[in-house]
Amino acid sequence: MSDLDAFREEARSWLNDHFPSGLAHRSPPGIAGFGARLTGDWKAWQTSLGEKGWSAPTWPAEYGGGGLSPEQAQVLGAEMASRGAISPIGGFGIMMWGPTLLDFGTEEQKQRYLPPIIRGDIHWCQGYSEPGAGSDLANLQSFAEDKGDHFILNGSKVWTSGALEADWMYGVFRTDRNNKYEGISFLTLDMKSPGVEVKPITLISGQSPFNEVFFTDVVIPKENLIGEKNLGWNIGKRLLLHERQGIAGSGGANVVGGSYDIEQVARDYIGLENGVLADGAMRERIAMQKMFAHAYALTGRRFGEEAAVHGPTPAVGIMKVAWAKDNQNREELLVEMLGNRGLGWEGSGFSDNELKTVRTWLRSKANSIEGGTTEINLNLVAKRVLGLKGY
Amino acid sequence: MAVLTEEQNMLKDQAQAWSRDEAPVTRFRKMRDSGTDAGYEQATWQDIAGMGWTGILIPEALGGSGMDYATFGVVLEETGRHLVASPLFASGLVGASALLLAGNDAQKQQWLPGIAAGTSIVTLAVDEGPHHAPEQIAMTADASSGSFTLNGSKVFVLEGGSADAFVVAARTSGTAGETDGITLFLVPADTSGLGVQPLKTADSRGYADLTFRDVKVDAAAVIGTADAGFPILDAVLDRARAGLAAEMLGTACEAFDRTLEYLKTREQFGQVIGSFQSLGHRAATLFMDMEFARSCVEAALRAIDEGSDEVPILCSLAKCKAGEFLHDMSNDMIQMHGGIGMTDEFDAGFYIKRARAAEATFGGQSYHRRRYISHFGI
C-alpha cells in the first residue's frame, strides 16, 4: 500500500468516527470564523475538525494545522466531498490571513493567531478600503501614531465585510504620512477595543454585509504589528494574492451563494418544446454561461496542478476577473429567466427562491468591485503577466 | 500549460524547433503563392512523416509509436502556431482514429502502416451541406448480395484532393436526422464512380468535394458494424475536434504573442501603444480567454486518453472555447496592428483565414454550444 493509500484509509476511518452522518451533503447554517456560533451536530463537527487541524489541512501541525502534503490534502478533500462532508470553518482567517501570517508572522504571532483560526473560534475582518482609498488602496489615511510601546489609531475603514460580528481586525494603516507606499504598516486590533465603532451599510440588495468602521484614539499594542513598521504594503499585497488564489482554487464555486440550478429555472419559467428550451436565444446564452463556468473551473484546477510543480503564477489574477464575470452573468440570466417573478422584493407574493434570486443578483454587482475591481485586476495582468508598460 | 511528461516535452521541443526553423509562415506563404491544389508542400509533409508524428497514435507493431492524444495535441499546437499545412491532422489523427477505434485487423494492417509512414493519406468525409451536421447524413449505401452501392456527395473534405482513401459516412437505413442507420465505409480514392473536385479556399489548405455515382464497395469496406456507425463517427469526430482545437489554440497563441509584441514596440503619441488602457485591458482579457481555451483543450485530450464519460461534452467545450478565442484573437490581431494588419504582406491575413476555416471544420461555436447544452436536458 502506498503512503497515499494509507493516508486515505486513515482519513476514511477518522471521518467515519467524527463526521455526523446527519450532516451529509448539507451546507452549514453559517461559517465558524465568519460570524456564526454553531450548535448541536454542527458544533461537534467544528470541534472535531478544528482539533484535528483539517480545517486548514496543509498548515503546519505545530500551529494546530493538519500538516498534510498537498497530495494528502487532495485525498482528504476528495474523501470529504464523496461523503458530502463540508467544513463549517472558514472566513478571512482561513482564506487569506492565515496563509499571510505563515509567510510574514513571527513565531510568537503564529502561535498566538493561527490555532483559533483553525478551530473557527475567532472571526476576523479585514480593514483595507477607506473612503479615499478604493482602487488606489495605498492612498489610505487611517493613521496609527507611534507612542513607543503602542500605537494610537484614528480614522475609518469602509466596505468591511462582517465587521459587526468580528472579534478581531487585521489591516493596513498609515504610520508615515510622508511616504505613500513605505509608510503603511500591517496591524491587528481587538474589535472590542474602546474607540471602535461599526455602522452597517445598506446595499442595493437591501442586505448589509458591509460596514463602516470608525477609530477614535484606539490603543493598539506594539506586539500587534506584523512585519516591520512602514513595510506593511508588501504584506497587504501578498494577502490579496492569497485571496485571488483562493478564488482560483474554488473551481467555480459561487461564494456569494444562493442561486439555484440554472437548468431547473429554465425548465420551470420558460419551458421546453420537444425536449428543447422554448426560447432558442436564451438557450444559447445559457450554454455560453455554463461553458464559461466550466472553463473557469478547469482553469482553476489546472493552475492548482501547475502551481504544485512550478509554484504560483501571477496569471491567477485573471481568475478574480473571471469569477466576477461568471457570477454576474449567471445572476443576470437567472433574473431574466424569472421574468416578472424576478422583480419581487418581499412578501408572500413571491417564493423564497425568487426573492433570494433578486437579492443575490443585486449583491453580485459588487463582485467586480470588491477584492480589486475588474479594471485594477486587468491593469495588474497587463503589467505583471504581459509585461506592458504604464500600469 | 499542463505538466508534461518527459516524452511530451521532447516532442514539444522538436515540434517547436522544426516549426520555427523549417516551417515558418514564410513557407506557408510560398506554398500559397505557388498556387498548388494540394494545399501543402511535399517536402513539408515528408519532413513531418520522417519525424514520426504521423504515427503518434498508431501502435508500434503497425509502424507507429503508440502514444496518446495529449501528445498529439502538443505537436499540433506547435505546428498550428506557424500555420504549417499538411495532412498530419486529417490523416494521422482523424483517419487513423477511425481505423483504431473500429477498423478490423485486415483494415488496420492494410492502412495504418502507410498512414504512419506518411505514404498513405486517409481522411474523413462526413458533411454534405454548408454546415457541420453529422446526424443529417443523407448519402445512401444500398446493400445487395454482399456489396454496397454508394450514391450522393460529400463536401469540404480535408485533404480530399490528396487522399488515398476516404472514411465515408453513409446511410444504410433510416432518413436524414436519425442517428441509427449510418455506416462507415473505407473507400479508396481510385474506386470507380468516385469523383474528386479540389476546392480553392480562402485559407489555401487542401479541401475537395466528392461525388459518388454508383460507387461499389464490398462488405470488407465496412468499418465497424453496418447501421451502427454513428457512435463510432461521433467518437472519431470528438477526437478530431479536440485535435483541431489544439491546433487552433496554437494558431491563436501565436497571434496573441505577435500582437503583444507589437503593443510593446509600436509607438504613437510618443509612447508604446500597449500603455493605453483600452489596448492593455483587451490584451489582458484575451490572455484570460487564452488560458481558458488551453484548460478546455487539455482537459478534452486528457479525457480521451483516460476513456472518460465526459469526452463529448469536453470536446464540444474545447472546440467552442478554442474557436471563440481564435475568432476574437484573429480579429484583434488585425485591429491592433492597424493598417499593416490589412496588408497581404503581413501575416495577419493568413491567421484570420486559417481561423475561420478551422472554426467551421467539425462544428463551429454555435454548433458546439447546442451540442453542449443538449447534455443538460434543456
This model of the complex carries an ipTM of 0.96
State in words which class domain B231-376 has. mainly alpha
Contact B295 A299 (CB under 8 A): yes
What is the Cα gyration radius of chain B? 21
Sign of CA dihedral B261, B263, B264, B270: positive
Residue A241 confidence (pLDDT) above 90: no
Contact A295 B378 (CB under 8 A): no
Output the average pLDDT for chain A: 92
Tell me the nearest-neighbour CA distance from B57 into chain A, angstroms: 25
Determine the residue of chain A that is closest to B280 in CA distance: A382
DSSP 8-state code for residue B313: H
Do B156 and B210 touch, CB atoms closer than 8 A?
Answer: no
Query: How many CA atoms, within 13 angstroms, populate the side-chain half-sphere of residue B212?
Result: 29
| B184: nearest Cα among B215, B144, B224 | B224
Q: Residue with C-alpha cell 478534452?
A: B300
Query: How many CA atoms, within 13 angstroms, populate the side-chain half-sphere of residue B244?
Result: 30
Residue A289 confidence (pLDDT) above 70: yes
Question: What is the number of residues in chain A?
Answer: 391
Which residues in chain B have Cβ-Cβ distances shorter than 8 Å to A283? 370, 373, 378
Q: Are strands B267-268 and B222-223 parallel, antiparallel or unpaired?
A: unpaired
pLDDT tens per residue across span B324-357: 999 999 999 999 999 999 999 999 999 999 999 9
CATH 1.20.140.10 residue ranges of chain B are 231-376
- What DSSP string runs through A154-178? EEEEEEEETTTT-SEEEEEEES-TT
Which residues in chain A have Cβ-Cβ distances shorter than 8 Å to B298? 302
Topology (CATH level 3) of domain B124-228: Butyryl-CoA Dehydrogenase, subunit A; domain 2 (2.40.110)
Joined together, the cell numbers standing for residue B234 give 461521433
Confidence band (pLDDT; 50, 70, 90) for A97?
Answer: very high
Yes or no: domain A3-119 corresponds to CATH 1.10.540.10: yes
Residue that wins the pLDDT comparison between A246 and B72: B72
Q: Are strands A143-146 and A210-221 parallel, antiparallel or unpaired?
A: unpaired
What is the Cα gyration radius of chain A? 22
Which residues in chain A have Cβ-Cβ distances shorter than 8 Å to B292? 292, 295-296, 298-299, 322
Q: Interface of chain B against chain A, CB under 8 Å?
A: 1-3, 260, 263-264, 271-272, 274-277, 280-281, 283-285, 287-288, 291-296, 298-299, 317, 320-321, 366, 369-370, 372-374, 376-378
Which residues 318-337 on chain A approach chain B with CB closer than 8 angstroms?
318, 321-322
Q: What is the mean pLDDT of residues A72-100?
A: 92
3-state secondary structure of B214: strand
Interface contact A1, partner B, CB < 8 A: no
Q: What is the mean pLDDT of residues A70-80?
A: 90
Contact A287 B293 (CB under 8 A): no
Residue A259 confidence (pLDDT) above 70: no
Rounded Cα gap, residues A291 and B295, in angstroms: 12
Determine the residue of chain A that is closest to B264 in CA distance: A388
Best residue in A378, A384, A391 for a mutation probing chain B (most B CBs within 10 Å): A378
Tell me the nearest-neighbour CA distance from B264 into chain A, angstroms: 7
Do A332 and A276 touch, CB atoms closer than 8 A?
Answer: no
Rounded Cα gap, residues B282 and B288, in angstroms: 10
| B117, burial (CB in 10 Å: exposed 0-12, middle 13-18, buried 19+) | middle
Single-letter residue type at A316: V
Confidence band (pLDDT; 50, 70, 90) for A244?
Answer: confident
Q: Residue with C-alpha cell 484535528?
A: A52
pLDDT for position A260: 63
Topology (CATH level 3) of domain A124-231: Butyryl-CoA Dehydrogenase, subunit A; domain 2 (2.40.110)
Residue B377 confidence (pLDDT) above 50: yes
- CATH superfamily entry for domain A250-385: Butyryl-CoA Dehydrogenase, subunit A, domain 3 (1.20.140.10)
Active site residue A197: no
Which helix or strand (DSSP H or E) is residue A48 part of? helix A40-52
Rounded Cα gap, residues A147 and A372, in angstroms: 33
Exposure b/e, A127-161, CB count within 10 A at least 16 = b: bbbbeebbeebeebebbbeeeeebbbbbbbbbbbb
Contact A389 B272 (CB under 8 A): yes
pLDDT tens per residue across span B103-138: 999 999 999 999 999 999 999 999 999 999 999 999
pLDDT for position A255: 36
CATH 2.40.110.10 residue ranges of chain B are 124-228
Residue A311 confidence (pLDDT) above 80: no
List CB contacts of A289: < 8 A, sequence separation 6 or more: A262, A326, A329, A330, A333
Tell me the nearest-neighbour CA distance from A378 into chain B, angstroms: 6
Contact A284 B366 (CB under 8 A): yes
Rounded Cα gap, residues A157 and B21, in angstroms: 58
Which helix or strand (DSSP H or E) is residue A3 part of? helix A3-18
Contact B280 A309 (CB under 8 A): no
Going from N- to C-terminal start, the domains of chain A cover 3-119, 124-231, 250-385
pLDDT for position A256: 36
Best residue in A276, A299, A373 for a mutation probing chain B (most B CBs within 10 Å): A299
Sign of CA dihedral A128, A129, A130, A133: positive
Residue B151's CB is within 10 A of a number of other CB atoms, namely 15
Question: What is the number of residues in chain B?
Answer: 378
Rounded Cα gap, residues B43 and A8, in angstroms: 55
pLDDT tens per residue across span A142-162: 999 999 999 999 999 999 999
Q: Are strands A168-174 and A184-190 parallel, antiparallel or unpaired?
A: antiparallel
Which residues in chain B have Cβ-Cβ distances shorter than 8 Å to A272? 378
Contact pairs from chain A to chain B, CB under 8 Å = 122
Poorest-pLDDT segment among A206-210, B2-6, B28-32, B363-367: B2-6
Which residues in chain A have Cβ-Cβ distances shorter than 8 Å to B294? 302
List CB contacts of B99: < 8 A, sequence separation 6 or more: B107, B108, B111, B112, B115, B122, B167, B186, B223
**Phi-psi category of A262—alpha, beta or left, where left has phi over 0 and alpha has psi -120 to 50?**
alpha
Phi, psi of A99 (to 5 degrees): -55, -35
3-state secondary structure of A9: helix
Long-range contacts of B277-283 (CB under 8 A, 24+ apart): B277/A379, B277/A391, B279/B336, B280/A378, B280/A379, B280/A382, B280/A386, B280/A388, B280/A390, B280/A391, B281/A375, B281/A378, B281/A379, B281/A382, B282/B332, B282/B336, B283/A382, B283/A386, B283/A388, B283/B259
| A388: nearest Cα among B248, B338, B325, B336 | B336
Q: Residue with C-alpha cell 493605453?
A: B276
3-state secondary structure of A378: helix
Percent of chain A whose pLDDT exceeds 90: 81
Contact A386 B260 (CB under 8 A): yes
**Phi-psi category of A258—alpha, beta or left, where left has phi over 0 and alpha has psi -120 to 50?**
left
Alpha helices in chain B (DSSP H): 6-22, 25-34, 42-50, 69-81, 96-102, 105-117, 230-265, 277-306, 311-337, 348-360, 365-373
Which residues in chain B have Cβ-Cβ distances shorter than 8 Å to A252? none
List CB contacts of A229: < 8 A, sequence separation 6 or more: A146, A175, A185
Q: What is the mean pLDDT of residues A228-241?
A: 94
Confidence band (pLDDT; 50, 70, 90) for A251?
Answer: very low
List CB contacts of A148: < 8 A, sequence separation 6 or more: A222
Report CA-CA distances (Å) from A356 to A256, B80, B235.
12, 47, 42
Rounded Cα gap, residues B123 and B166, in angstroms: 5
Do A89 and A118 touch, CB atoms closer than 8 A?
Answer: yes
pLDDT tens per residue across span A47-58: 999 999 999 999
State in words which class domain B6-120 has. mainly alpha
Count helices and strands in chain B by DSSP H and E runs: 11, 10
Tell me the nearest-neighbour CA distance from B377 into chain A, angstroms: 7
Confidence band (pLDDT; 50, 70, 90) for A209?
Answer: confident
Contact B317 A378 (CB under 8 A): no
Which residues 250-279 on chain A approach chain B with CB closer than 8 angstroms?
263, 266-267, 272, 275-277
